Amino acid sequence: MTARIVLFGATGYTGRRTAQMMVQRGLRPVLAGRDPARLAALAERLGGLETARADVTEESSVAALVGRGDVLVSTVGPFLQLGRAAVAAAVAAGAIYLDSTGEPTFVREVFERYGPEAERSGAALITAFGVDYVPGVLAGALALRAAGGAASRVDVGYFILGGGRGQAFSRGTLRSVMGMALEKNHAWHDGELRTEPAGARLRTFDVAGRPRPGVTIGGSEQFALPRCAPGLQTVDVYLGWFGAASQALHVASRVTPLLGRVPGAARALAAVAGLVTRTASEAPSEEALAGMRSHVVAEVFDGSGTLLARTRLVAPDAYALTANLLAWAAGRAAEHGVWGSGALDPVAAFGLDELRAGAAESGMVEETS
């Protein structure tokens, strides 16, 4: 019997696209949230889906909707502010949990705080199942398989190219990105997880025929890839969204930890973030998204720095990819379950070949050159 799928966030931009993709795949998710009128209107447009009034920030409210083996999907961010109750409810219920976060601190919290509890309850927590950070986990795992046993270091780079005029990111994405400015990030160095500021390292990748810079961030790759290759000493994830500004962000990373200790700095940054996001549209410009492509590169090196393998993936705009991936994973988990319990990365949850096939269904293409 197929498990129940409950989706929070369907009245937001990413959640609405996810709901649409679920329906296109033949799924019938329950749309949950605090605004019954908006949910009902969307549910009607999507073919008469079931709705439920619930608050994603209240554990008891979420828990009333999910049972053991059900699939709970959340696209409601910023996750550090709004996401913990849904995770806790999934853990208590023994449910399968998926979300769209790209926030490194939240990813780490799911693995380190909630993962052990989920393993005991039989729940499966699969965080960051979207453009952040499924492509990097997949590319890194494929490159590691090609590299063989001599792998010592993996570098993953994320880049967005193309796009038309107008706002390229949703209001929710902008809010999450700005909220991460003073948060701690993480890296896998010398065979262990370490805390560091975002932007601590800078390097370039060859993407679409040009060298493009990126700065380091925390992701789920630092948890996933050492599981794929236990001898890995280094896993670095680079974000290449900033172009020439990457150098400035790298330099600023030396100051960021100090700002975090300044009284009132976090409040001041939150006020600036609020001002910026209030003036932004809820949805990105369709013109901006039309020509946008996500490029992900994973490179594996041995202990001497020799390149052993490289995998390149290209996908449509970030929101289409996230919606497709979440819809695929929810349907797969509802029908077949996942592998294991606890905090799972995408490879651990579905297997590398199954994930590769699901990513291809979602529009993620492997480049051969």
Cβ distance 244 to 215 under 8 Å? Answer: no
State which amino acid sits at residue 28.
Answer: R
% of residues, the chain, pLDDT over 90: 75
HEC string of 284-343?
Answer: CCHHHHHCCEEEEEEEEECCCCCEEEEEEEEECCHHHHHHHHHHHHHHHHHHHCCCCCEE
**Quick one: 119 and 145 in the same domain?**
no
**Quick one: 67 and 119 in the same domain?**
yes
Q: What pLDDT does residue 56 have?
A: 97
> Distance between CA atoms of 66 and 123, rounded to whole angstroms?
11
**Quick one: 156 and 65 in the same domain?**
no
Cβ distance 153 to 307 under 8 Å? Answer: no
| Lowest model confidence (mean pLDDT) among 15-19, 61-65, 256-260, 334-338 | 256-260
pLDDT grade, residue 318 (50/70/90)?
Answer: confident
**Quick one: 87 and 197 in the same domain?**
no
Residue 87 in this model has a pLDDT that exceeds 80: yes
pTM for the whole structure? 0.90
Please work out, in degrees rounded to the nearest 5, the angle formed at the alpha carbon of residue 119 by the alpha carbons of 116 and 125: 90
Q: What pLDDT does residue 261 have?
A: 52
Higher per-residue confidence, 350 vs 257: 350
> Distance between CA atoms of 235 and 133, rounded to whole angstroms?
13
- Tens-digit pLDDT profile for residues 228-272: 999 999 999 999 988 888 888 788 766 555 444 545 545 555 554
The residue out of 317, 344, 359 marking a domain boundary is 317
**Quick one: 143 and 291 in the same domain?**
yes
CATH number for the domain including 265? Answer: 3.30.360
Residue in 22, 3, 296, 10 with CA at minimum distance from that of residue 132: 296
User: How far from chain centre, in Å, is Cα 365?
Assistant: 18
The residue out of 317, 339, 354 marking a domain boundary is 317
- Tens-digit pLDDT profile for residues 133-170: 999 999 999 999 999 999 999 999 999 988 656 655 65
Residue 53 in this model has a pLDDT that exceeds 70: yes
**Quick one: 112 and 176 in the same domain?**
no
The residue out of 300, 317, 334 marking a domain boundary is 317
**Quick one: 174 and 304 in the same domain?**
yes
CATH number for the domain including 39? Answer: 3.40.50.720
HEC string of 149-216?
Answer: CCCCEEEEEEEEECCCCCCCCCHHHHHHHHHCCCCCEEEEECCEEEEECCCCCEEEEEECCEEEEEEE
Helix (DSSP H) and strand (DSSP E) numbers for the chain: 17, 16
**Quick one: 313 and 198 in the same domain?**
yes
**Quick one: 84 and 161 in the same domain?**
no
Residue 332 in this model has a pLDDT that exceeds 60: yes
Q: What pLDDT does residue 243 have?
A: 83
pLDDT (mean) for 349-354: 98
**Quick one: 27 and 166 in the same domain?**
no
Q: What pLDDT does residue 254 have?
A: 65
**Quick one: 75 and 179 in the same domain?**
no
**Quick one: 286 and 154 in the same domain?**
yes
Q: Say which residue the tokens 């910023």 belong to.
A: 78
Give the DSSP H/E element, type plus range, for residue 32. Answer: strand 30-33
Q: Give the chain's mean pLDDT.
A: 89
Q: What pLDDT does residue 258 have?
A: 42
Residue 174 in this model has a pLDDT that exceeds 60: no
pLDDT (mean) for 112-119: 98
Owning domain of residue 309: 134-317
Q: What pLDDT does residue 357 have?
A: 98
Q: How many domains does the chain have?
A: 2
Give the CA radius of gyration of the chain.
Answer: 20
Cβ distance 136 to 219 under 8 Å? Answer: yes
> Distance between CA atoms of 148 and 230, rounded to whole angstroms?
12
